[in-house]
Amino acid sequence: MNNIIIKNAKELVTSSGFKAKFGEEMKDIGVIENGAVAIKDGKIVAVGTTDEVLSKVNQDEYEIIDATGKAVLPGFVDSHTHFIFGGYRQDEFNWRLEGVPYMDIMNSGGGIVNSVRDTRETSESDLYEIGKKRLNSMMEFGVTTVEGKSGYGLDTETELKQLRVMKKLDEDHPLDIVRTFMGAHATPKEFNGDTDAFVDYLIEDSLPKAIEDNLSEFCDVFTEENVFSIEQSRKLLLAAREHGYKLKMHADEIVQFGGAALAAELKTFSADHLLAASDEGLLAMRDAGTVCTLLPCTAFSLKADYARARFMIDNGCAVAVATDFNPGSCYTNSIPLLIALSTIYMGMTVEETITALTLNAAQAIDRADVVGSLDEGKKGDVIILDAPSYKFLPYNFGVNLVETVVKDGQVIYNK
């Protein structure tokens, strides 16, 4: 039936809005005391105080959930992950603990290409089963929409395999999966360091195929020193746009490289990481309407300086946060850790963090019209916390407070 009313919420956080919030607006999360939300046929039909909502609907048509004493929020949107991969890189993580930099591991023939080898060797059905488990874990953290990237194939065949796995999981699993083609993640060994030739291969062979049958919607590139240059990134992204892809970038993660400025020039939906982005690059992103997606779990894992969230928000940027779940730089999909780092180390308020993990994250994957807030007409994606206030999210740090997850008007998880 997919008809549910969640009523009597001590705090109903709506994150109300249909497009990203910039700067100051990010602190406005639309809290309703003693709030309720009604979902019919999977879509939100009423939001307000419990009295208002109950007066608008015929209660007989609904399953009722009583959220007395609890905080209720929109489902979280994890707008940047690489969750389909074979194998693991626990040795590299431990070398990093001993002081070896991430880029040194990559430049000496390890890193991403190790996951490429393992992903090529893992069957499609095994990747599907691994992916399903990972989605279940995301769900338990309150994530209802997730973006997933290819990029551990680096040949058309394996890139398509990763995308097919995500497409099938999107059909079979309750979570929504937004798919991104990221063939430009590293240059595979068979190209012997000829990155220009690899970019041409991606443009000629992979790009046309990876958007067929709705396999992917976005194209992303790892723009970084010794990975893909600004010129190579621009060439690839412009070609992708010609094919109908929406654009994203990994930008200015390790060194200041001009990635943020390129994102602004191309008006990409988001540019992500931005640890080393320049003031001018960030302000240009703001003016272009490009979301700054920050990935503090990766900075934590790499022991790097965090992105300058305060500078961005204080200067009017739209900030999102995401996990970056991947086998190398950030092997965690922990939303509690993400919230702790966003607030305690990146200096974001809890309200800004909630906007960054709901509405702004939805905008980063072009879904702000359908998810990311509790507004009439949007999908009935709602989470209930085992806590009386959203302020417990950073306060009770490191602990998963999610008690119930409703997706498209159906309870898909109950602790």
Q: Interface residues with ligand NIG (CB under 6 A)?
A: 82, 111-112, 115, 222, 250, 253, 298, 324, 326-330
Burial 340-378 (b: 16+ CB within 10 A, else e): bbbbeebebbbbbbbbbbbbbbbbbbebbebbbbbbeeb
170 vs 275: CA distance, rounded Å: 31
Using CB distances below 5 to 8 A depending on partner kind, what does residue 3 bind out of ligand NIG, Fe ion, none?
A: none
Q: Shortest gap between Cβ of 368 and ligand NIG (angstroms)?
A: 22
Q: Shortest gap between Cβ of 234 and ligand NIG (angstroms)?
A: 18
Q: Could you tell me which stretch among 53-61, 84-92, 154-162, 322-330 binds Fe ion (CB under 5 A)? A: 322-330
> Measured from the CB atom, is 156 or 329 closer to ligand NIG?
329
- The partner residues of 146 in beta bridges, in order of sequence, read 78, 177
Q: Shortest gap between Cβ of 283 and Fe ion (angstroms)?
A: 23
Neighbours of 412 (CB within 10 A): 17
> Measured from the CB atom, is 115 or 145 closer to ligand NIG?
115
> Is residue 403 exposed (0-12), middle (13-18) or buried (19+ Cβ within 10 Å)?
middle
Q: Shortest gap between Cβ of 25 and ligand NIG (angstroms)?
A: 27
What single DSSP character describes residue 193?
T
Q: Could you tell me which stretch among 136-144, 190-198, 300-308, 319-327 binds Fe ion (CB under 5 A)? A: 319-327
Query: Pattern 323-362, binding to Fe ion, x per CB under 5 A?
Result: -x--------------------------------------
Residue 260 tokens read as: 């943020």
Using CB distances below 5 to 8 A depending on partner kind, what does residue 409 bind out of Fe ion, ligand NIG, none?
A: none
Secondary structure (DSSP) of 225-281: TTTB-HHHHHHHHHHHHHHT-EEEEEESSSS--SHHHHHHHHT-SEEEE-TT--HHH
Using CB distances below 5 to 8 A depending on partner kind, what does residue 112 bind out of Fe ion, ligand NIG, none?
A: ligand NIG
What element of type H or E holds 411? strand 410-414
Residue 213 tokens read as: 């049958």
Binding-residue total with Fe ion (CB under 5 A): 1
Q: Shortest gap between Cβ of 253 and Fe ion (angstroms)?
A: 8
List residues binding Fe ion (CB under 5 A). 324
